[in-house]
Chains A and B, each alone.
Chain A
């Protein structure tokens, strides 16, 4: 079966998360093929893990003041600052059994993350998987990933840092005890890296998208073709963005 490639471009946080869930739903119902999606965020936004508390990890007032979005994901893991100009996101969504995958989620991460490792290597970076769910270049984190399985469907989405501004990141991400904010900024500078840091201006975000599609195809042996959201998926995503991912009952549920 051919995989559908979606390049949905720049969208607000609630729409981005709604599209992932809508595709999961249509793949579960068998009306859409397995899907590989690459996308960006406009405005910049923070996404938080399913088990996090919005107020504990996000400075919501700063987000509202600056027009930065915030959204809870259906996946676990940590808070991510999706900088409009500094980050490319992907999601890979398929029915269990479409490709061989370990039952254990912890063991499935390295299998799917190989797509990102190959993407980065094709750009000339010496990338490696680091358990549980990260990818590193030169020992520094460049990608974080989160995986879930619902209704017989696997969904993994993740972030690939294109450019990183720790100062700006921690304007919106809260850390336990404001006193250690400076320490956290320093820690990010020490432990996190980005594509721009290594390659400068030579590689565009579009080229990174291409590399991700090629990386996943090579790592998982996928035959892919460019596609689009169906009319139904688009309509459902608009509704879900409004009723769930843009709503307080969901975003502030923990």
Chain B
């Protein structure tokens, strides 16, 4: 959209959430059959808005908003995402079934690289 091929995005210019904010989308079939999707945008090089959908389980269910919020401000790298999710589940005593924190990290990186290829 607003970024030319091969040009690095300038975090300073992105921080205001201008018209060129792009949405990254990823989809992952986790071993065992669950299908998880993510969509997010970046602001200043870190995850901004994020929505996670899929046929997994979270107990309690209301934790999904907190889990998404835990990703805001996190760099879109597998290790960083995995660590944030694992910390959230541990601290809030949330049980996640059908996918792992690492799966979500992988999904974020897939969404990012999918976008870069196009």
**A residues near B, CB below 8 A?**
49-53, 56, 74-79, 104-106, 132-133, 146-150, 176, 254
CB distance from A184 to the nearest CB of B (A): 11
CA distance A146 to B57 in the complex (A): 8
Cross-chain contact of B97 among A50, A53, A106, A149 (Cβ < 8 A): A106
* 11 A/B residue pairs, CB under 8 Å, sorted by A: A49-B54, A49-B55, A50-B61, A51-B54, A52-B54, A74-B61, A105-B59, A105-B95, A132-B57, A147-B57, A148-B61
Does A76 contact B58, Cβ atoms closer than 8 Å?
A: yes
- Looking at A75, A77, A79, A147, the one whose CB has the most chain B CB atoms below 10 A away is A77
Contacts of A254 in B (CB 8 A): 51, 53
Q: Is B52 an interface residue (CB 8 A)?
A: yes
Q: How many residues of B contact A (CB 8 A)?
A: 20
Given A53-B37, A78-B35, A132-B97, 5 additional A-B pairs, CB 8 A: A51-B52, A51-B54, A51-B61, A75-B57, A76-B61
**Which 9 A-B pairs give the minimum distances between C-beta atoms?**
A78-B55, A76-B57, A53-B53, A50-B61, A105-B59, A49-B55, A106-B97, A254-B53, A52-B53
Does A176 contact B27, Cβ atoms closer than 8 Å?
A: yes
Taking chain A's interface residues, is the majority helix, strand, or loop, or is none over half, making it mixed? loop
Contacts of A149 in B (CB 8 A): 59-60
CA distance A56 to B27 in the complex (A): 11
- Looking at B35, B60, B97, the one whose CB has the most chain A CB atoms below 10 A away is B97
Contacts of B98 in A (CB 8 A): 76, 132
- By beta carbon, the residue of chain B nearest A131 is B32
Q: A51-B64, A53-B37, A148-B61 are in contact. Are A76 and B95 (CB under 8 A)?
A: no
CA distance A149 to B97 in the complex (A): 14
Q: A51-B64, A56-B37 are in contact. Are A79 and B55 (CB under 8 A)?
A: yes
CA distance A133 to B98 in the complex (A): 10
Contacts of A50 in B (CB 8 A): 61, 64
Cross-chain contact of A77 among B27, B37, B57, B95 (Cβ < 8 A): B57
- By beta carbon, the residue of chain A nearest B95 is A105
Contacts of A147 in B (CB 8 A): 57
CA distance A226 to B37 in the complex (A): 43
Contacts of A51 in B (CB 8 A): 52-56, 58, 61, 64
Contacts of A76 in B (CB 8 A): 55-58, 61, 97-98
CB distance from A124 to the nearest CB of B (A): 28
- By beta carbon, the residue of chain B nearest A53 is B53
CA distance A105 to B56 in the complex (A): 13
Interface residues of B in 47-96 (CB under 8 A from A): 51-61, 64, 95
CA distance A51 to B68 in the complex (A): 12
Contacts of B95 in A (CB 8 A): 104-106
Contacts of A132 in B (CB 8 A): 32, 57, 97-98
CB distance from B4 to the nearest CB of A (A): 29
- Looking at A132, A146, A147, the one whose CB has the most chain B CB atoms below 10 A away is A132
Contacts of A49 in B (CB 8 A): 54-57
CA distance A150 to B59 in the complex (A): 10
Cross-chain contact of B57 among A79, A105, A150, A176 (Cβ < 8 A): A105
- By beta carbon, the residue of chain B nearest A134 is B33
